[in-house]
Structure 1
């Protein structure tokens, strides 16, 4: 497989910088055995069936983007430099891996001041990242981060506008509860309270899993042969309760439909032995055409970046040519793309 197999031309004006309001009013492209149909997300109540189960990622995005100052005594007195930080993930040593710009303007051992109460000391660096030890921990750290941090919008949105107060709600799912992600599971952003209530009344069931989405989800694939690409790793958990619920739905003939590629990658990781089992830890599963899905019967997902690992994942589920046709239709009819864009419901035809 070549990287060019997953490329397409996207008009700049189709990149969404704000979500649809209300959330469930976004467009929904339905792709199933009957072809392609243009719907809206609230139509899920009519599309899904009694006994279907949606798998939801309950990770919570932290306001991981920080702006601070580095102070240093110089020949002409105290000098300062503006430092921008994007937190990536906590490390077992207690500090955080982070992207720091400009990295060349800080030294190991120096402190970056973000507010009167929050600061961090640079403890080291590797592979273009810095490691930061914050002066606060636990609830105190969470409160300070909430006060001064901004939501870590994807690069293609951040290049067009800065994050603002609206993003603190818009870039968070309705059911977010386990803090740790630095990117949202964006297909889930289309759900609101009324839609969830209507789906429950329809007989659709829900299972929660947790995958802390990392900044690596936006990293481009740089190799021509996609088999040479190394996936980023993300921490996740599938509980025994989740396994029992999914297995019960399977046994009853219902469909398992992850909402988002993160939920799909997680349950397929937990089922890599051929049987779905409770699972916790990092996953770097890389799903490309030819992958044998163990649990997934369909997928609700947004429209993805060209030449991305997520394009490869949806192509594995639906077929490379089918995805090209779906994306051609979406572009031709004005669907909005990427994190704040519209959605698709992909239901592959079973052999």
Structure 2
């Protein structure tokens, strides 16, 4: 009987809870770096600042310049009951898609009050994924409220006390890349968190081209795949943009036999979306590209990526890039050596 090779349970692994990083290191580039060679499965253990040894003149380092906005905000119902909102995206000027958490069930036409009742949202409807659409009479007022009183949307495995102002201040700067520019993500492109301005300067001095794309990391980054046959999973759409300058430097590098290094699964998905669409011009849009084994990567030659949660599309992507067993062996090696996992954790270079 032929084995089903598309089972998500194959992408599970045991992880000691103490290896889930709760805070960033004092210096971004001092995190550990597991270098995984795809051709033979060889593993090297380095520090992130040593990544420059693997980048060569003429190579292209692609960064995702999305910026995380303070997407968590607390409101209340008419009865005074607490409502915790995680904003996903603005659907139009007056309507936001968001996850809502309350003690009692919400229903259509309920009102949610924010900022001492000065901003009111009307609950429109719930969609199939479990998020809600909420309308505001003045969308600009709500956007301003979010930017002024919202908090960073840390993933649920990073535990925070609401009273810990010191950690909240750290999160505001460290759960953000140093090159973040275009506001719109509800999760950081975490592979990029390891780059400091100093390290990027040294990379430029080595005549490595640094190029940017934008992908606003969305809800899907937190979610595990529920379907046992993961090919039936549907990805959340995420907005992306790739400028003409980035396309041009990639095409030139490819023609010269140079390598394209994607910083993070988000940058990788932009590059492979562009390749799938045969785009050679600046483009923007929404991508739901779901990469899982086997997959033919057309642009990405090397991948910089953090360690990912079990049963996620991110783990499937890196497994497609390096091979399922190769990734499993690398993760086992990282766990044995006490690497720090997930968003604030250590990093891999798959080359």
**Common fold: TM-score over 0.5:** yes
CA contact (8 A) 2:82 2:103 kept: no
* Pick aligned residue for 2:306 from 278, 302, 309: 302
1:148 matched residue in structure 2: 149
Partner of 1:3: 8
Task: Please list the CA deviations of residues 57-102 of structure 1 after superposition, one character each: whole Å capped at 9, or x if unmatched.
Answer: 111111000111222xxxxxxx411111000111146300111112
Q: C-alpha separation between the residues in 1 aligned to 2:326 and 2:343? A: 22
Contact 1:55–1:209 at 8 Å: present in 2 too?
A: yes
Q: Could you give the per-residue CA deviations for residues 303-324 of structure 1, whole angstroms, max 9, x where no partner exists?
A: 0011211111111111111111
Q: CA separation of 1:277/1:332 partners in 2, compared to 1, >3 Å: closer, same or farther?
A: farther
Give TM-score, length-normalised by structure 1: 0.91
SS, match of residue 281 in structure 1: strand
- SS of residue paired to 2:253: helix
Name the residue aligned to 2:89.
Answer: 89
Q: Does the CA-based 8 Å contact 2:81-2:103 persist in structure 1?
A: no
C-alpha separation between the residues in 1 aligned to 2:25 and 2:186?
22
Matches within 5 A, 1:101-250: 101-102=101-102, 104-116=104-116, 117-127=118-128, 128-138=130-140, 141-158=142-159, 161-162=161-162, 164-250=168-254
Q: Tell me the alpha carbon deviations over residues 92-145 of structure 1, each in whole angstroms, 9 at most, x when there is no partner.
A: 46300111112844443343222145442323322322212235444x554422
DSSP 3-state at the match of 1:337: coil
Distance change (3 Å), C-alpha of 1:108 and 1:260 = same
Specify whether residues 248 and 103 from structure 1 end up closer, same or farther in structure 2 by C-alpha distance, changes over 3 A only. Answer: farther
Q: Given that residues 68 and 115 in structure 1 are in contact (C-alpha distance below 8 angstroms), is that contact kept between their aligned partners in structure 2?
A: yes
Tell whether 2:36 aligns with 1:31: yes
**Take 1:42 and 1:118, find their aligned partners in 2: how far apart are those partners?**
46
**1:293-339, Cα deviation, whole Å (9 max, x unpaired):** 11000100000011211111111111111111111111110110011
Distance 1:330 1:101 in 2: 35
| Aligned mates of 2:153, 2:260 — CA distance in 1 | 30
Paired position in structure 1 for 2:269? 265
CA distance in 1, matches of 2:49, 2:69: 28
Segment drifting more, 251-260 vs 271-280: 271-280
Query: Match of 1:98?
Result: 98
Say whether residues 1:41 and 2:17 are aligned partners.
no
DSSP 3-state at the match of 1:91: strand
Distance of 1:320 and 1:27 partners within structure 2: 22
Corresponding residue pairs, total: 338
Structure 2 counterpart of 1:76: none
**Distance in 2 (alpha carbons) for counterparts of 1:235 and 1:273:** 15
Shift of 1:189: 0.8
- 1:185 and 1:169, CA in 2 relative to 1: closer, same or farther beyond 3 A? same
1:14 to 19, 24, 27: 19
Identify the match of residue 328 of structure 2 among 324, 332, 350: 324
The normalised TM-score by structure 2 is 0.91
